[in-house]
Amino acid sequence: MQALTRYISPGWLLVAPFFLLVVAFYLGPLVNILWLSLTDPEPGLGNYRMLTESDALARILWTTLRICAITTVFSVVIGYCLAYAMVHAHQKSQNWMLTLLLISFWISVLVRTFAWLMLLGHNGVVNSGMEAIGLIDRPVRFMRNELGVLIGMVHYMIPYAVLPLMANMQTLDPRVMAASRNLGANGVQTFRRIYLPLTIPGIVASSLLVFILSLGFYVTPAILGGGRVLMVAEYISVQLLVTLRWGTAAMLGTLMLIGVLALLWIMSRFMRLTTVFGGGATR
């Protein structure tokens, strides 16, 4: 025992239980799934060849990427304005704003999706409200299409977009902006030439975070899409639970995993990952 602790720091003994749990019960089956994508139903690249052969699969991938990209753009632009207002607000209103943001962050995704179902439906509150004030003649289709999925996803992702942006904006030195104003630049110029470039790390980190989270998002597209907007996550679940085709599901999972890990690697070059995932926990 003594000889052992001389070479291995005793701290590792505390790390070991969770480390072994992850290796045995997470990494193990994960590697098994990667392996399945190459071997089920028969060894070879058959599952990956389907990407070029199957139109349905190509359409699902394209839908997923398009929806994720649009969600990212809207969430980050709205999130940027929100983060800017929050960082530059007085302490007291900043606290209130942060409280509202975190409450929305904490409300269960099921509750929120249910709320959108009530609001956006054919006879939902939004449609009957707009009809009542004479804005529209007949109900607008907000649901069971991409519009509904986008509304639900942007609503869910905005808090995730705001947190890394705020972390980034809080580190900026206000004297730099003041110097720019003193040197004769107006507000717009200062923002475009100084502030915006300084916040690019935050923008990149928040875009990547939202994009990663959107890629695997399941609940909102499944319910607000109403089966008409098929994204990769829902397709995987159908493959596993209904048609029992592990090979296809494993192949799509592998692609998603590679994509996510690549994006995380890019993100780690712009920001410490623990800052992003700690939700403001500084380290």
Q: Hey, which residues between 253 and 272 contact another protein (CB under 8 A)?
A: 253, 256-257, 260, 264
Which tokens belong to 135? 């804005």
Residue 170 Cα to chain centre, angstroms: 22
- Residue 35 touches another protein, criterion: CB under 8 A: no
- Residue 273 touches another protein, criterion: CB under 8 A: yes
CA–CA separation, 217 vs 233, rounded Å? 7
- Residue 12 touches another protein, criterion: CB under 8 A: yes
- Give least dist CB 2 to another protein, A: 13
Find the binding residues for another protein in span 140-159 (CB under 8 A). 155, 158-159
Which tokens belong to 10? 């005793």
CB 234 within 8 A of CB 218: yes
- Residue 11 touches another protein, criterion: CB under 8 A: yes
Candidate list 45, 54, 104, 266; residue touching another protein; CB under 8 A: 104
* Closest to 72 measured CA to CA, from 157, 159, 199, 164: 157
Q: Which amino acid is at 59?
A: R
- Residue 243 touches another protein, criterion: CB under 8 A: no
Cβ nearer to another protein, comparing 121 with 201 = 121
Query: Residue 229 contacts by C-beta under 8 Å, 6 or more apart in sequence?
Result: 63, 67, 144, 145, 146, 148, 149, 221
- Give least dist CB 246 to another protein, A: 8
Cβ nearer to another protein, comparing 133 with 281 = 281
Size of the site for another protein (CB under 8 A): 86
Only one residue has tokens 């990494």, namely 27
- Residue 28 touches another protein, criterion: CB under 8 A: yes
Sign of dihedral through CA atoms 251, 256, 257, 263?
positive
Candidate list 45, 118, 136, 200; residue touching another protein; CB under 8 A: 118
- Residue 119 touches another protein, criterion: CB under 8 A: yes
CB 149 within 8 A of CB 70: no
Candidate list 45, 69, 125, 196; residue touching another protein; CB under 8 A: 125
- Give least dist CB 243 to another protein, A: 14
Pick the piece of the chain touching another protein (CB under 8 A) from 51-59, 114-122, 133-141, 194-202.
114-122
Sign of dihedral through CA atoms 174, 175, 177, 182?
positive
Residue 226 Cα to chain centre, angstroms: 21
The vertex-140 CA angle with 138 and 145, nearest 5°, equals 150
The vertex-203 CA angle with 202 and 207, nearest 5°, equals 115
- Give least dist CB 265 to another protein, A: 10
Candidate list 61, 73, 109, 230; residue touching another protein; CB under 8 A: 109
Pick the piece of the chain touching another protein (CB under 8 A) from 28-36, 38-46, 52-60, 63-71.
28-36
Binding mask 205-234 for another protein (x = CB under 8 A): -------xx-xxxxx---x--------xx-
- Residue 78 touches another protein, criterion: CB under 8 A: yes
Which tokens belong to 281? 């926990």
